[in-house]
Amino acid sequence: LISRAFRHQFIIPDFPGFTKHIEDFYWKCKSNTEGKVASYIPQLARMNPDYWGVSLCTIDGQRFSIGDTTVPFTLQSCSKPLSYAIALERLGQEVVHKYVGQEPSGRNFNELVLDHNKKPHNPMINAGAILVCALLKVLVKPEMTLAEKFDFTLNCFRKLAGGENLGFNNAVFLSEREAADRNYALGFYMREHGCYPEKTNLRECMDFYFQCCSIEVNCESMAVIAATLANGGICPITEEKVLKPESVRDVLSLMHSCGMYDYSGQFAFKVGIPAKSGVSGSLLVVIPNVMGICTYSPPLDPLGNSCRGVQFCEELVHEFNFHRY
Ligand code: DON
């Protein structure tokens, strides 16, 4: 980092100048009071709607944070691209996509629907993510118990985050499991249609899905995860090769087309960069070959995306031409 600094070879040459703009966008979005905090479990309903944080990490490890960036929150749906990444890494694209599609569903994230081949539409919605959890449990290191598989997964996520600030929120896990009628319905519906690999234990698979959703992070560690994806799978902080570039390409492709639920098409059109939102209010944003960004603000729009997070991305792309096209 230091030698690059002397040679003025950073990916964003005037980083302090750039972050001044980020601060401006931050303050602009702070006054946005739209949206509602998720209320389906008490732990999320209690979240402070005023929390607002933005962290970024470039592919050469320059970092900037503003606002509530050390407040812990659960991954929720932001776990979906990460568990999908591990499945791709361990099983390859062909095996994973025997079980799950690549099309946007055009429906809500938890809708009881499969595609024409009786597969979940993609790994970024609940049905697809539950199925990816089954693949991780049954096909990746099948000898592991559920406890071992959880440790293994947490450890993979931690490597993506450069070893930083990952925990587990047991109260959220227990509540998720209690308030999961729809997810169980999805789980059974997929079993009825023979979606799972042989030897899948549905109860274990559902628990594993809820556990992945209940892993706790903060904005700063999530920005490093996004930066690892922006950097082709090499963590910019530790320089460890965590994912193959092929796995990262697949993850970003589906984040681009399916990462923002039923707003994905509009987001791809307006903002044009891969992103994934979660119901706790986080937004994982990847600008390939430049940087990773995480925004955190609990109030959500009717489709389940963080209002301030979406606005921030729009402001960013309006000022800087990060749109892929
Ligand atoms: O499965 C669920 O319903 C949640 N635990 C996660 C879904 C989620 O984050 C949807 N986000 N907008």
Residue of 265, 172, 213, 193 whose CA lies nearest to 80? 213
pLDDT given for residue 1 in this prediction = 64
Among the listed residues 44, 25, 24, the one whose alpha carbon sits nearest the alpha carbon of residue 36 = 44
Task: Kindly provide the b/e burial profile for residues 171-194, where b requires at least 16 CB atoms within 10 angstroms of the residue's own CB.
Answer: ebbebbbeebeebeebbebbeeee
Shortest-distance atom of ligand 1 to CA 183: 1
The per-residue pLDDT for 165 is 79
For the entire predicted model, the pTM comes to 0.96
Residue 111: predicted pLDDT? 87
* Atom of ligand 1 at shortest range from CA of 129: 1
Catalytically active residues, by annotation: 77, 80, 209, 261, 279
- Which pLDDT belongs to residue 8? 62
> Cα separation of 233 and 248, whole Å?
6
| Residue among 93, 94, 114 nearest 105 (CA) | 114
Output the CA 110–ligand 1 centroid distance in Å: 8
pLDDT tens per residue across all 325 residues of the chain: 666 666 668 999 999 999 999 999 999 999 999 999 999 999 999 999 999 999 999 999 999 999 999 999 999 999 999 999 999 999 999 999 999 999 999 888 888 899 999 999 999 999 999 999 999 999 999 999 999 999 999 999 999 999 987 999 999 999 999 999 999 999 999 999 999 999 999 999 999 999 999 999 999 999 999 999 999 999 999 999 999 999 999 999 999 999 999 999 999 999 999 999 999 999 999 999 999 999 999 999 999 999 999 999 999 999 999 999 9
Number of alpha helices (DSSP H) and beta strands (DSSP E) in the chain: 13, 8
Residue in 82, 126, 277 to alter for ligand 1 test, most ligand atoms within 8 A of Cβ: 126
CA-wise closest residue to 139 among 179, 104, 91:
91
Give the model's pLDDT for residue 6: 64
Please indicate whether residue 79, judged by its CB atom, sits closer than 6 Å to ligand 1: no
- In this predicted structure, what is the pLDDT of residue 2? 67
76 C-alpha to ligand 1 centroid (Å): 5
For the chain, the residue count is 325
Question: Scanning the structure block, which residue is given the tokens 């985050």?
Answer: 161
The finding on whether 126 has its CB within 6 A of some atom of ligand 1 is: yes
Phi, psi for residue 306 in degrees, rounded to 5: -65, 125
